[in-house]
Amino acid sequence: MDRIVVITGGTSGIGLNLRKMFEAAGDKVVVLANAGVDENNTMEYLCDVSDEDAVRKAFEDIRNRFGRVDILLNNAGYGMSGITELMPTDKSKKLFDVNVFGVVNCTKYALPLMQRGSKIVNTGSAMAFFPVPYRAFYASSKAAVVTMTYAQRLEVKKLGIDMCVICPGDIKTNFTANRVKEFETNDRYGNAIAKATKKVDGRENKRMPAEVCAKRMYKIINKRHYKPMYIIGNMHKLLYFVNRLVPKSWLLAGINKYCG
């Protein structure tokens, strides 16, 4: 198709699978990632999306080389688990710097390169709607991405640019292995964090393969017009529907039982 597609976090997991699909379709794919970058590949940039200056320089180079960006996929991000009360502040701030302000930075510098008909897709998470114990900061960061997408979608609509957020459910990638895990506890919490982490991580083999998730995302990304938000995963679609019907306390009680 010969589109210029920029994917953050495109060297592993969902991002890598999406990259392969776009390349197979004939698009030029530019990857921004903070790891796994091939220094000999001119389509890959070693770039921490939380570093605004690095992002600015990357998009300046993209402007000089290609002159435009047709699709921006803000996919970079990572997870974190730990007791909210005891989570080191620097770790929680870094998470928001990458998961939230990484989206802000890339969108900020991609928009001047976008024409009418261009698209921006942010990767959220179903956890934005169904937060689980000891994942408060990750869930909050993705909730921020969802709300920010809704607001900015209204801002860029007048520019002829479409925007949406895609929220996958449980996906089998290296995301779990790479998640920052903080096991600090005290007498009040005991071994609750260790038990919860073991239970949630033990479901890894039951999660949707990254390839399947990427195929569904690719189909959405190529739609002519976007809805504001999409959820991937039948169970999470059902939960989202139920969430709108039942009291929040019921939903949280069910989540706590599932994760406890």
198 burial via Cβ count (<10 Å: 0-12, 13-18, 19+): exposed
Residue 77, number of CB atoms within 10 A of its CB: 24
**What's the first-to-final CA gap in the chain, in angstroms?**
48
Give the C-alpha separation, 33 to 143, whole Å.
22
Return the minimum-mean-pLDDT range out of 1-10, 33-42, 120-129, 238-247: 238-247
What domain range is 158 assigned to?
4-259
Q: Which of 238, 231, 170, 179 is nearest to 205 (CA)?
A: 170
Tell me the pTM. 0.91
Give 43's pLDDT tier (boundaries 50, 70, 90).
very high
Return the minimum-mean-pLDDT range out of 10-24, 67-81, 176-190, 211-225: 176-190
pLDDT at residue number 194: 83
Mean pLDDT in residue range 9-28: 97
Give the C-alpha separation, 187 to 174, whole Å.
32
| Residue percentage of the chain with pLDDT more than 90 | 72
Our count of domains for the chain comes to 1
- Domain harbouring 252, CATH code: 3.40.50.720
Return the minimum-mean-pLDDT range out of 35-39, 171-175, 221-225, 242-246: 171-175
Mean pLDDT in residue range 100-120: 98
Give 147's pLDDT tier (boundaries 50, 70, 90).
very high
Give the C-alpha separation, 6 to 66, whole Å.
11
Residue 161 contacts residue 114 (beta carbons within 8 Å): yes
Q: One-letter amino acid identity for 106?
A: C
Give 68's pLDDT tier (boundaries 50, 70, 90).
very high
Mean pLDDT in residue range 73-77: 97
Return the minimum-mean-pLDDT range out of 21-35, 118-132, 137-151, 191-205: 191-205
